[in-house]
Amino acid sequence: MPTSAECVLFVDDDEDVREAAHQTLELADIPVEVFSDAASAVERLKKGWPGIVISDIRMPKMDGLDLLTEVKKIDPEMPVILVTGHGDVATAVQAMHDGAFDFIEKPYAPDLFIDITRRAMSHRALVLENRTLKIELARHSKNASDFIGRNPAMEKLRTLIGNVAATNAHVLINGETGSGKEVIARNLHEMSGRPGPFVAVNCGGMPEHLIESELFGHEAGAFTGADHKRIGKFEFADKGTLFLDEIESMPLALQIKLLRVLQERAVERLGSNRVLPIDLRVIAATKVDLRSASARGAFREDLYYRLNVVQLHIPPLRDRKDDIALLFEYFTRDAAKRFDRTVTALSAAELARFNAYDWPGNVRELRNAAERRVLGLDPLTNNEDGEDNYAVPLPQQVEAFEKSLITEALREHGGNVTATVSALGVPRKTFYDKLTKYNIVPAEFRRPR
C-alpha cells in the first residue's frame, strides 16, 4: 500500500469516472485508491493517509463538501481537490475559501487532471517533509546537533552508534576538525548508561611535560612543584568515559603507559607505588589516519589496535551537503533564541551559495555562519572590511544548486526515478546524465515499505 506523498484517494459515485481516473493516474505512475462513497473514504483516512484527496462534489448522502469538512478535521493541511460540473463552479470557488486546494471542472483533459494532481502532491510532500524536519529537530538535544541529517552516511553512523553505545568497547572516532567528534563521544557516553563522568582531554592542547601528570595524577612531592596530591583524569573518569581528543598528538612514551592502563585496567599515580583498579571506557578521536601513522612509526601499532575495537568515521560537511539546510535551520533557531532575534527562511540563492562552498571548518563553521546571519551579518563573510572570503564562481553555485534540487526531489519521491523525472520536468536521459555527473544513487533515497 502506498506510504508516501505520492498517494491519491479518489472518490466518485460513478463507476466509469472512477475507472477512467484510476487508469489516468496509473499511466502517470501515481499510486491511487478509489472509493464509491465519501463515508468509506473517511474511514480510510482515519487509518492514516499521507497523500491527497480528489472528490466529486455531487454525491448521495455525504457529498464532496461534507468530505472536505471531515478531511480538514483529520488533517487541516491535507490537499483536497474537488471535481465539479459547470453549475457548481461558484460552490467550488467558495470551497477553496473554506480550505480546498483546487477544483477541476468536468469534462477535464487528462493532462490538466495530472498537472493539478501533481501540484497537490508536491504541496503535500513539502508539508510532510516539514513535519518530519520539525520532529527530527525537536528530538535532538543541543549536544546532538551533529547527528542531525538524513544523508545515508549519517544514517549508517547513527545506527552504528546505537549498536555500540551500551557496550564497554573502546571507540576510535575519525573526522576532520569541526566535524563533531566530541559531540559524538559525549552522546556515546550518555547512551552507555555508565554512572561515572564524561572526562575530556585534548592531547594536543597541553605541553608534553604536563600531560602525564594530567592523565595519571601525582602524589605530593612526586616532582618539583607537586606540593599536593592530584587526582588524574584516568582515576577521575572511573566508571565513566575518558575522551582523548587528538590522540595522534600523544607522545610515544606516554602511549606505552596508556596501553598498559588499557590492558591492566589499573592506574598508578606519579610518585606512588599503589596500583588503583579502574573501570574505564576510552573513546579516542583523531583527524589523521592512525593506521598510516603507525606504519610510519609515528603512532604505536599495538595501541592503535587496542583503541580500534570500533571505528566511527564522521563524514565532512562537504560530503553531506544535502544536510546543510536542516543543520542550518537547527543552528539558526538556537542562535535566534539565544540572541532574542527573529530570522527569515533561507533563500534558494543562499542555499546554492552554501552548497557551492566546501566548508573546511565543517559543522562548527556552519554554526558560526548561522549565528552571523541571525545577527544580520553576511553568513559567509567574516572579516573587518566585509569582503567575501568564500567567493564561489557562478557555475559552481549553479551546479551545487542543481545537485541539491535533484537530491531533494529524490528524497521527496522516495528514490522513485519515474516520479522524480516527472516532478523535475527533465528527459530521463538528461536525468541519468546528472546522476552520473553528481555521483547520486537513487537507491539510497528509497524508503522501506
pLDDT single digits (tens) 60-113: 889 989 999 999 999 888 999 999 876 677 787 888 888 888 888 888 899 999
Strand runs labelled E in 85-184: 102-105, 171-174
Q: Has residue 143 got a pLDDT over 50?
A: no
Going by their DSSP bridges, the two strands 266-268 and 275-277 should be labelled as: antiparallel
What's the pLDDT band for 172 if we cut at 50, 70, 90? very high
Q: Has residue 11 got a pLDDT over 70?
A: yes
What single letter denotes the amino acid at residue 226? A
Helices (H) and strands (E) in the chain, counts: 18, 14
- What is the pLDDT averaged over residues 229-258? 91
- What is the pLDDT averaged over residues 269-282? 88
Predicted confidence at residue 3, as pLDDT, reads 39
- What is the pLDDT averaged over residues 183-198? 90
- CATH pick for 8-137 out of 3.30.70.360, 3.30.499.10, 3.40.50.2300, 3.30.2350.10: 3.40.50.2300
Q: Which CATH architecture has domain 143-315?
A: 3-Layer(aba) Sandwich (3.40)
Query: What torsion do the CA atoms of 32, 37, 39, 42 make, to the nearest 10 degrees?
Result: 20
Q: Say how far apart CA 269 and CA 428 lie, in whole Å.
A: 68
Q: Say how far apart CA 138 and CA 82 lie, in whole Å.
A: 35
Cβ(53)–Cβ(79) below 8 Å: yes
What's the pLDDT band for 429 if we cut at 50, 70, 90? confident
Place of cell 480546498: 100
What residues contact residue 144 under an 8 Å CB cut-off, 6+ apart? 183, 187
Predicted confidence at residue 288, as pLDDT, reads 93
Place of cell 504541496: 123
The three cell numbers of residue 129 are 517533509
Q: Please, what is the average pLDDT of the chain?
A: 84
Q: Say how far apart CA 275 and CA 270 lie, in whole Å.
A: 11
73-76 — which CB contacts under 8 Å span 24+ positions? 74/42, 74/45, 74/46, 74/49, 75/45, 75/49
The three cell numbers of residue 136 are 527530527
Domains 8-137 and 143-315 are alike in CATH topology: yes
What's the pLDDT band for 145 if we cut at 50, 70, 90? very low
The model's pLDDT over 277-320, given as tens digits with 9 standing for 90+, comes to 999 999 999 999 999 999 999 999 999 999 999 999 999 999 98
- Cα angle vertex 317, ends 311, 321, to 5°? 125
- What is the pLDDT averaged over residues 366-387? 78
What residues contact residue 433 under an 8 Å CB cut-off, 6+ apart? none
Predicted confidence at residue 226, as pLDDT, reads 67
Q: Which of 152, 140, 193, 147 is nearest to 334 (CA)?
A: 140
Q: Say how far apart CA 156 and CA 175 lie, in whole Å.
A: 15
Cβ(435)–Cβ(442) below 8 Å: yes
For the chain, the structural domain boundaries read 8-137, 143-315, 318-445
Q: Which of 220, 222, 232 is nearest to 258 (CA)?
A: 232
Q: Say how far apart CA 373 and CA 332 lie, in whole Å.
A: 8
The three cell numbers of residue 287 are 583527524
More confident residue, 420 or 396: 420
What's the pLDDT band for 386 if we cut at 50, 70, 90? very low
